[in-house]
């Protein structure tokens, strides 16, 4: 049995073909009819209509009008912003207590981890809201970030690790080295922890015989990251801000 014009029929009329909808219903539609994502055939089978037109229980259609999402809550919650402020406070307290502790380096290292989480979060939420430009920009930023992380890891093993002074330091603090390099695979800027001297810890004060082998590629990747990751994310955020109601 096939669905056609609010009725069940044994076979489709001439000029019609069977089409399985997103709801797993076999429906008779005019031959050649194909519906875009988020749309489904009308009961008559002559054209397409939105798959979600009416939302219930306080839900609303997303921007692309492809599915129902929870309605805007009464307040906005900023978990990443709150986390960032806490981490900045820790970096600031460290720099005040220990004069050698580098506030900016530690701050960037901490916030870089939130940056990666934020990109994934943006991808998920942009998809849920149906904001295609933000999805595309966040995906591009994520791919470039992964590329930066892998390139820095390659340069670290090729140029930094062979440094005699650094290698001697690694022998004493190999657990710290492994930990920071794991964080660098999440976001390469976390490698600033190597020399940030957070809380005056010796295992966060790595020396280098040839500092340029570390700092030059690191500086290059940081500038490249601003262009290929930070800028697309800022644009994606602006697009999402324009198209999504306040409160999400």
CA torsion angle for 125, 130, 135, 137 (degrees, to 10)?
A: -110
pLDDT at residue number 69: 67
Give the model's pLDDT for residue 213: 87
Q: HSE, CB side, 13 Å, CA atoms: give it for residue 51.
A: 17
Q: What are phi and psi of 9, to 5 degrees?
A: -125, 155
pLDDT at position 137: 94
Sign of CA pseudo-dihedral 75, 81, 83, 87:
negative
pLDDT at position 71, please?
65
Question: Is-contact 190 180, C-beta < 8 A?
Answer: yes
Q: What distance in Å separates the CA atoms of residue 5 and residue 28, rounded to the nearest whole number? A: 9
- Which residues sit opposite 53 in a β-bridge? none
pLDDT confidence of residue 139: 95
Residue 76 has a pLDDT of 53
Question: How close are the terminal C-alpha atoms of the chain, in Å?
Answer: 43
Residue in 171, 165, 173, 247 with CA at minimum distance from that of residue 214: 165
Write out pLDDT tens, residues 40-98: 788 788 888 776 655 666 666 666 666 676 666 545 567 888 999 999 999 999 999 99
Determine the Cα–Cα distance for residues 114 and 133; give it in Å rounded to an integer.
Answer: 22
What local confidence, expressed as pLDDT, does residue 242 receive? Answer: 81
Task: Provide the pLDDT for residue 65.
Answer: 64
d(CA 180, CA 214): 14
Cα three-residue angle 26-29-31, rounded to 5 degrees: 125
What pLDDT score was predicted for residue 205?
93
**Which pLDDT does position 63 carry in this prediction?**
65
Using DSSP bridges, classify how beta strands 7-9 and 26-30 pair: parallel, antiparallel or unpaired. Answer: unpaired
Residue 5: predicted pLDDT = 76
Q: Which two tokens stand for residue 82?
A: 């709150």
Q: What is the pLDDT of residue 132?
A: 85
**pLDDT score, position 243:** 76
CB 187 within 8 A of CB 111: no
CA distances in angstroms from 162 to 67, 171, 202, listed in the order given: 54, 12, 20
Record the pTM. 0.71
Give the pLDDT confidence score for residue 217 in this predicted structure.
85
Q: Which residues does the chain have with pLDDT short of 50?
A: 74
DSSP secondary structure letter of residue 206: -
The Cβ of residue 15 has, within 10 Å, a number of other Cβ atoms equal to: 10
**Which pLDDT belongs to residue 57?**
65
């Amino acid at each position: 049995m096939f669905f056609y014009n609010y009725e069940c029929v044994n076979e489709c009329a001439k000029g019609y073909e069977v089409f399985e909808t997103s709801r797993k219903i076999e429906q008779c539609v005019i031959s050649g009819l194909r519906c875009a994502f988020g749309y489904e055939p009308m009961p008559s089978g002559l054209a397409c209509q939105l798959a979600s037109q009416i939302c219930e229980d306080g839900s609303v259609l997303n921007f692309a009008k492809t599915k129902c999402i929870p309605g805007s809550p009464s307040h906005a919650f900023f978990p990443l912003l709150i986390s960032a402020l806490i981490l900045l406070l820790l970096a600031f307290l460290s720099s005040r207590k220990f004069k050698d502790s580098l506030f900016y380096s530690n701050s960037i290292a901490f916030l870089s981890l939130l940056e990666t989480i934020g990109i994934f979060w943006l991808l998920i939420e942009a998809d849920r809201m149906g904001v295609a430009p933000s999805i595309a920009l966040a995906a591009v930023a994520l791919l470039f970030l992964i590329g930066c992380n892998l390139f820095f890891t390659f340069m670290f093993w090729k140029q930094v690790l062979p440094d005699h002074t650094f290698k001697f330091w690694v022998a004493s603090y190999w657990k710290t080295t492994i930990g920071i390099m794991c964080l660098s695979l999440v976001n390469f800027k976390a490698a600033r922890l190597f020399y940030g001297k957070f809380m005056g810890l010796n295992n966060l004060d790595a020396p280098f015989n040839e500092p340029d082998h570390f700092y030059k590629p690191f500086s290059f990747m940081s500038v490249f990251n601003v262009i290929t990751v930070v800028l697309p994310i800022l644009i994606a955020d602006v697009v999402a801000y324009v198209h999504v109601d306040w409160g999400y």
